[in-house]
Structure 1
Amino acid sequence: MSAAPVSDSLALIDLAGAEFRLVDPRAPHLRVDDLAPHRGDGIFETVLVTRLAGADHLHARELHFSRFRASAAMLDLPAPDPTLWHAALDAVIADHRERRGDDEAFTVRYSMSRGLAEASGWVLSIPLDAKYPGQRAHGIDVITLDKGFPAYVGQSAPWMLIGAKTLSYATNQAAARWAASQGVDDVIFLSHDGRVLEGPTANVVIRRGGELLTPDPKAGLLHGTTQQTIFAHAAEAGLLCSYTDLTVDDLTAADGVWLTSSARISVPLNTLDGEELRRDPELSEQMLAWVLGG
């Protein structure tokens, strides 16, 4: 696996004081016993930033922040102040752009940790992985993995935090390493009773004729902001958009299958468990235009 891109800009957020400050991202800032690095006890969002009409645009800003608030509530963390967090986001975006001096797209990741005595937060800029454009253009090969629990487990076990975007990503990272060890690019998680869930960092979208479908978030997955953006534009374009249970057979019979996420946007699948899938290059281009257009 390639090394993580190095950040250019970082803001530390003082939640109690309702203020933030820009700091050197390469200097140490968290204690090792902070509950974020120590136990993954926190939440985050990763948001795409591109240049639109000569200005930086934070894509799906409100969708991301709404999910951030919901995650905070699920983890009993302080309700994030939108004025404070959005100001910190804008400051990091401006600082990153000034340091880079280019118009390249990048992401900002904002996080809240339970901390030690009190919660803390930060916003970090992250350059995009160089492999993403190639994946969007040429597609990827994917395998399925059983996640080990039934669909809709979150309905009976809310303490599992199904649907919260937490910092506990060890399983997701392990799945990515497993994919690489099997000679493929990514995985799609299945519930133990055979329903399609999501990828480690992406949602699954398929086309079936004039309809786009994606698994119901209540089945045990994160409600994706990019998927929601695509569905909103697709509905305006006359496509029927549905949340429903899907199986592997639905994916292999589909007219196109994509993984969607903030950083990669929409990536078509070439194969699933070694089986060739149908491709829809025209819709792939349309999805990209829908997301990048605003």
Structure 2
Amino acid sequence: MLTALALIDIDAGTVTSTHLESAQFPVEDLAIHRGEGIFETVLVSVDAETGAPRVHSEGPHFTRFEQSAAMLDLPAPPRELFEEAVAAVITAVIGSADLSTARGPVTEFSVRYAMSRGLDAHADPTAHRAAGVPHGARGWAFPIGVTDGQRAQRTDGVRVVTLNRGYDAYVGESAPWLLIGAKTLSYAVNQAAARHAVAQGADEALFVSDDGIVLEGPTSNLVIQRGDTLLTPDPRAGLLHGTTQRAVFTGAEAAGLAVAYADLTIDDVLEADAAWLVSSVRTAVPVLEVDGKTLPHDPASTSRLHGWIRAA
């Protein structure tokens, strides 16, 4: 079964539906050999009775997408084109036989959309245009399934190891060219950190600044509970401001809990009443251990976080 893919020609203002298996991006595209691009991944739920899709935290994701573009000096992404591309992918997935599996109907999946700066300066624009390849900024969107492992972590939790991020907290305020806080396609370090964590016998990594401030996971934000307060690291300290974390805070405030951004240490995490890694696809994952030390886990609190995220 072919996988849906929507290609966006930003200069032409068009969206073209095709298939991921037949997609061809020129090697000269800066997203491929320089990581010069940005992306977002949204969770899509499918109503079991009506089949209607819902994109969670759609607005906050695109706002962050626009902010990432500005930080990279990319063109402002045309919202209507990206919404059209995401909608085309969702329609293709829901209308395909892929929506049903041996385990029953698919009730959720994710859609990733991205934008590249376009072709490198040395590329021949005339030759590429003749081949139907955009020379300037381009975008695309495609679906990604939610794995059994990701679903299991929502309730089973993860064991994490802390890793030094290699720079002091708040370095981005004096070095904006580090693009801290932008969701770029340059994810090699994040992937390497995740592999290293697994090699150490853990499930996940947790980055800590060189001066001891807890930051984030490779693909997630940290939220801890202390009494009736939820806390998360200050995004200015050197991390991506999470859309899922903001959905959790919105739900917590509506439920009467206090929320705060704060500089947290590893001891703060270890002494918390509970801790979670939150992200768009895995939603909320309880942290069971940090560097081999056990943390409390309250399944009811985890379930409440799941509800807040799904409501966004």
- After TM superposition, the score normalised by the length of structure 1 is 0.96
1:183 is displaced (CA, Å) by 1.1
Structure 2 contact 44–109 (Cα < 8 Å) conserved = yes
For 1:241 and 1:66, the matched residues in 2 are separated by: 22
Deviations 1:228-285 (A, max 9, x none): 0010010010000000100000000000010000010000011000001111211100
1:104 is displaced (CA, Å) by 2.5
Equivalent residue number for residue 266 of structure 1: 284
Deviations 1:194-237 (A, max 9, x none): 00000000000000000000000000000000000010010010
Equivalent residue number for residue 40 of structure 1: 35
For 1:26 and 1:101, the matched residues in 2 are separated by: 18
Do residues 50 (structure 1) and 16 (structure 2) align? no
For 2:168 and 2:309, the matched residues in 1 are separated by: 32
Structure 2 contact 2–19 (Cα < 8 Å) conserved = no
For 1:90 and 1:28, the matched residues in 2 are separated by: 19
Unaligned runs of 5+ in 2: 101-105, 120-134
1:181 is displaced (CA, Å) by 0.7
For 2:217 and 2:275, the matched residues in 1 are separated by: 12
For 2:234 and 2:66, the matched residues in 1 are separated by: 20
Equivalent residue number for residue 75 of structure 1: 72
1:293 is displaced (CA, Å) by 3.0
1:129 is displaced (CA, Å) by 2.0
Equivalent residue number for residue 202 of structure 1: 220
Which residues in structure 2 correspond to 1:1-294 (within 5 Å)?
8-52=3-47, 54=50, 55-99=52-96, 100-102=98-100, 103-116=106-119, 117-294=135-312
For 1:247 and 1:17, the matched residues in 2 are separated by: 49
For 1:166 and 1:72, the matched residues in 2 are separated by: 9
For 1:223 and 1:7, the matched residues in 2 are separated by: 34
2:231 maps to a residue whose letter is L
Unaligned runs of 5+ in 1: 1-5
Over aligned residues, Cα RMSD in angstroms? 1.2
Structure 2 contact 40–112 (Cα < 8 Å) conserved = yes
Structure 1 contact 206–214 (Cα < 8 Å) conserved = yes
Structure 1 contact 7–125 (Cα < 8 Å) conserved = no
1:7 is displaced (CA, Å) by 7.9
1:138 is displaced (CA, Å) by 1.2
C-alpha change, 1:288 and 1:218, in structure 2 (3 Å) is same
1:19 is displaced (CA, Å) by 1.0
Where does structure 1 differ by over 6 angstroms across 4 or more consecutive aligned residues?
none
Structure 1 contact 7–127 (Cα < 8 Å) conserved = no
1:290 is displaced (CA, Å) by 1.3
1:14 maps to a residue whose letter is D
Q: Which structure has the larger Rg over C-alpha atoms?
A: 2
Structure 1 contact 145–187 (Cα < 8 Å) conserved = yes
Provide the identity percentage: 50
- Residue-pair matches, total: 289
SS of 2:253's equivalent in the other structure is helix
SS of 2:21's equivalent in the other structure is coil
For 2:2 and 2:150, the matched residues in 1 are separated by: 17
Equivalent residue number for residue 3 of structure 1: none
Q: Which moved more, 1:283-292 or 1:160-169?
A: 283-292
SS of 2:148's equivalent in the other structure is coil
SS of 1:131's equivalent in the other structure is helix
Deviations 1:7-58 (A, max 9, x none): 8211000101111111110013201121111111100000000024731000
SS of 2:186's equivalent in the other structure is coil
Structure 2 contact 213–264 (Cα < 8 Å) conserved = yes
Structure 1 contact 11–20 (Cα < 8 Å) conserved = yes
Structure 1 contact 7–126 (Cα < 8 Å) conserved = no
- After TM superposition, the score normalised by the length of structure 2 is 0.90
